[in-house]
Amino acid sequence: MIKTKKQGLLIVLSGPSGSGKNTVCDMAKEVMPNIWESVSMTSRKPRKGEVDGKDYYFVSEEEFEKNIEDGKMLEHAKFAGNYYGTPRESVQKQLDAGKDVLLVIEIQGALQIKEKIPQALFVFLLPPSMKELKRRLRMRKTETEEKLMERFETAYKEINELPKYNYVIVNDKADEAARKLEAIINAEKCRVDRIEEVFLDTDEERLHEELVDKDLVNEPLDLK
C-alpha cells in the first residue's frame, strides 16, 4: 500500500487570451472538489460588478510594490500600467492543507513559477486553430480592432513557449478539455516520485524492509 504526499499539487494553467482558460477551469472544479482556484492580486481599480477577494485582491500600486519587495508574490507582471500577480501566502496555506491549487495565469507569470517551483504541473491550453482564436476574441466585443490584433500577435509569441510546459490541451470543446485536465491531474498524482511512503501492511512487506535495511552478515534478523 502506498501513501501519497499530504501536500496538495500546484497546477499552472496558461494559454493565449481567448483559449478558454477560465471556462475549462470552472468545469474542472465542478468535478474535482479538491481543487482551489487561486485569486490574483492587482493594482488596477475594480470594474463594475467585481468583488474584492473573489475576482481579485484589489490593492494600491504602492502596496503591490511593497509585497514584491517583501517576497510575498509567487509571481507578478505589469500589463497596461497595472500590476497583476499571485500572493504566495494564500497558495501555500491551501497546499499545506492538502488542497490542489490551480493558477490560471499568463505565460510570463507561469515561467516565473517554473523557475521557483519546477515540480509544479504546467498545462498549456490551445485553441483548435488561430482562425478560431481570432473569432473568439472578436465575439467578446470588448476591444477595438487594433487592440484585438495586438492580442492576436501576442498569442503567436506565447505559443512559442509551449515546449516549456508539461502538457498541452487543445480546447475545441470545453467539456472535453476539462475532462483532459482532470485526467492529467489524476495521472500526475500517480507518479512514483509523488509517493510519500510505503505502508507495511503484511509480514512479507515487513520482512522485505528488514532485509533491505539490515546487514545480514553482521546483524541477526528478528523474524518475530
Q: Sketch the domain layout of the chain as residue ranges.
A: 2-38+99-201
pLDDT at 52: 93
User: How many residues in the chain?
Assistant: 224
* Cα–Cα distance, 81 to 172 (Å, whole number): 33
pLDDT at 220: 42
Query: What are the φ and ψ backbone dihedral angles of 3, each rounded to 5 degrees?
Result: -125, 120
Point out the residues of the chain with pLDDT beneath 70.
Answer: 1-5, 140-143, 196-224
DSSP string, 188-200: HHT-GGGEEEE--
- What sign does the CA torsion over 193, 197, 202, 205 have? positive
* Cα–Cα distance, 110 to 123 (Å, whole number): 10
The DSSP bridge partners found for residue 84 are: 42, 77
User: What CATH class has 2-38+99-201?
Assistant: alpha beta
Q: Do 224 and 32 contact (CB within 8 A), yes or no?
A: no
pLDDT at 75: 95
* Cα–Cα distance, 44 to 185 (Å, whole number): 32
pTM of the model: 0.78
Dump pLDDT digits (tens) for 98-121: 999 999 998 889 999 999 999 999
What three-state secondary structure class fits 130?
helix
Helix (H) or strand (E) holding 12: strand 10-14
Bridge pairing between strands 100-104 and 82-87: unpaired
Count of CB atoms within 10 A of residue 172's CB? Answer: 13
pLDDT at 222: 39
